[in-house]
Amino acid sequence: MVEGEEKKPKTPAQLKKDAAKAEKLTKFTEKQRKMAEQKALQATKPPEEKKEKKKAVKEVITYSANTQPGEKKDLSGPMPTVYSPRYVEAAWYQWWEREGFFKPEYGGRDVSKPNPKGNFTIVIPPPNVTGTLHLGHALATSVEDTVTRWNRMKGRTTLFNPGCDHAGIATQVVVEKRLKRERDLSRHDLGREKFIEEVWRWKNEKGDYIYDQLRTLGASVDWDRACFTMDPKMCRAVTEAFLRMHEKGTIYRSTRLVNWSCALRSAISDIEVDKKELPGRTMLPVPGYKDKIEFGVLVSFAYPVDGTDEEVVIATTRIETMLGDSAIAVHPKDDRYQHLIGKVCKHPFVDRDLPIIADDFVDREFGTGAVKITPAHDHNDYEVGVRHNLPFITCIGDDGLMTDACGQFAGLKRFDARKAVLDALKAKGLYRDMQDNPMIVPICSRSKDVIEPILKAQWYVKCDQMAKKAIDVVAKGSLKLIPDMHVATWNRWMEGSRDWCISRQLWWGHRIPAYFVSVDDPKIPPGDSADNNYWVSGRTEAEAMEKAVKKFNVPKEKITLTWDEDVLDTWFSSALFPF
């Protein structure tokens, strides 16, 4: 407003607005005053103790009548006003067992004679004795028991057969961990016999508890037919199955690459290998190593070409295995390397020539287009090694240590050797590059160890003919899959089946009934444990000796038998369980 100028009066609207503002200010001031008074009053009061809220405890109604185990439940007393599972389920199971309701012979039925209403038999998928039952077991048992009871009510001869699985690797790992934790011992400290005694103690403890859990679930199984996969009758069945299949040639011995766990010192099956996908450089924990190990990187290094000033640059994710290289492969149509095919590279750390070979399996677009060939430690390289008759050099031993073939690196742990080799390449001026590389790392589901492909002599089951029969019976309708949408999955699995490695380097399990034959006769050359021809099988050592005498046509005094120390894969015996 300009000085001297007369102030204009406010309009009615402005006056109303000012009045509203004043009223709000008065209310705010009053509110602040009351809050201050309340705060001052609280400050003068002693602090009150917080009262704990009492949790409502739901009363569990239990059955308390004096019913003797096996006697019919006394229901003459008052019933609970609300549903109580403990009350309802109590005392019935022992009576059902005593009356024999779960036996196929119930009511004097002769199971050897046909029942016009039909038969129904189901075996429980035997739970492992590695611990106790979980929710999955409860669900499966409930479904199986429901179907069993329904068939029993239809008047059919019914059997629900219970049992437990010895679970070779899983159980051995659990018991070994307990030994280490409680007594600071390894299985090797105890020896084979004492360790197996420890496992049996574990089985007796856990197996009985599992059966008690099945009773609590109300499973209507015939306990007189309960079976453990290491029971004498199962051992006889396993031995018989092995012998028959070995004599037919279905089971044979061969040297191939296997999934090897250095922590377990055993081969494991494909389904026991977890595939861990890495987006790039990743540090992973590995059993036996204090620090995490680097994975997901592609290391490039050079192999000098002998007699020239040229070099071949190789890219690999497993630099330590270069100590087992026996060749370098390039694509036959890769112009960059045409002039080098047939030449030789010198290995920088061991006295070994590496021929440069051409093979169609090489991907020209990956890395440098040149690939190191390590036939004893890679599945693709193995095939290349067979095609080109290359030497198979094992550079990593069963215990995860570098072998004598590794020169200055012999005796190092495999992932310590990874760093040592990298440093040595840098010192020689052969290191070229390192970059992130997405990859899949195979991990042992039991030990969490990084799986090492290792060339080992193992026992195998031929699967091609069995797989073909399995496809045929489904196609013909002899075997029905429910729902039928799974037929495609069934066929895909069977068509892609490979021979099954059934031997495991463990102590707990069915020991393989096979014997290696050594003959003290100059006419018969010494055998190799990898050679199938120098093995015989037998129910007993005496039977195996008879077979060896007949096979090699020499007196038994010239023969020495060595029982195979390996055991069979758990699934070999589990697969026999229904029969």
pLDDT, tens digit (0-9, with 9 covering 90-100), for 199-243 = 998 888 877 889 999 999 999 999 999 999 999 999 999 999 999
* DSSP bridge partners of 457: 255
Q: What is the pLDDT of residue 6?
A: 52
pLDDT at 4 (0 to 100): 46
Domains and CATH numbers, the chain: 58-95 (no CATH), 100-227 (3.40.50.620), 297-437 (3.90.740.10), 513-563 (no CATH)
Which amino acid is it at 132? Answer: T
What's the confidence (pLDDT) of residue 46? 65
* Residue-level pLDDT at 27: 79
In the prediction, which pLDDT does 30 show?
80
Task: Answer for the pair 299, 317: CB distance below 8 angstroms, yes or no.
Answer: yes
Q: For residue 323, what pLDDT is reported?
A: 97
Tokens standing for residue 256: 């191939």
DSSP state of 575: T
**Residue 8 confidence (pLDDT):** 62
Predicted pLDDT at 29: 81
> According to the model, what pLDDT value does residue 5 have?
47
Residues found in the chain: 579
Does the pTM of the predicted model rise above 0.75?
Answer: yes
How is residue 390 written in tokens? Answer: 């290359």
The answer to whether 332 and 359 have CB atoms below 8 angstroms apart is yes
Residue bearing tokens 């369980």: 577
* Spatial contact of 214 and 526, defined as CB atoms under 8 Å apart: no
DSSP-assigned letters across all residues of 150-196:
HHHHTT-EEEEE-EEB--HHHHHHHHHHHHHHHH---HHHH-HHHHH
Evaluate the omega torsion of the peptide bond into residue 483 and state whether it is cis, within 30 degrees of 0.
Answer: yes
Cα separation, 136 vs 128, whole angstroms = 13
The pLDDT assigned to 2 comes to 44
Q: Which residues pair with 313 in a beta bridge?
A: 302
CB atoms near residue 282 (< 10 Å) = 18
Q: Which residues of the chain have pLDDT under 50?
A: 1-5
518 close to 562: Cβ distance less than 8 angstroms: yes
Give the separation between CA 203 and CA 126, rounded to whole angstroms.
Answer: 13
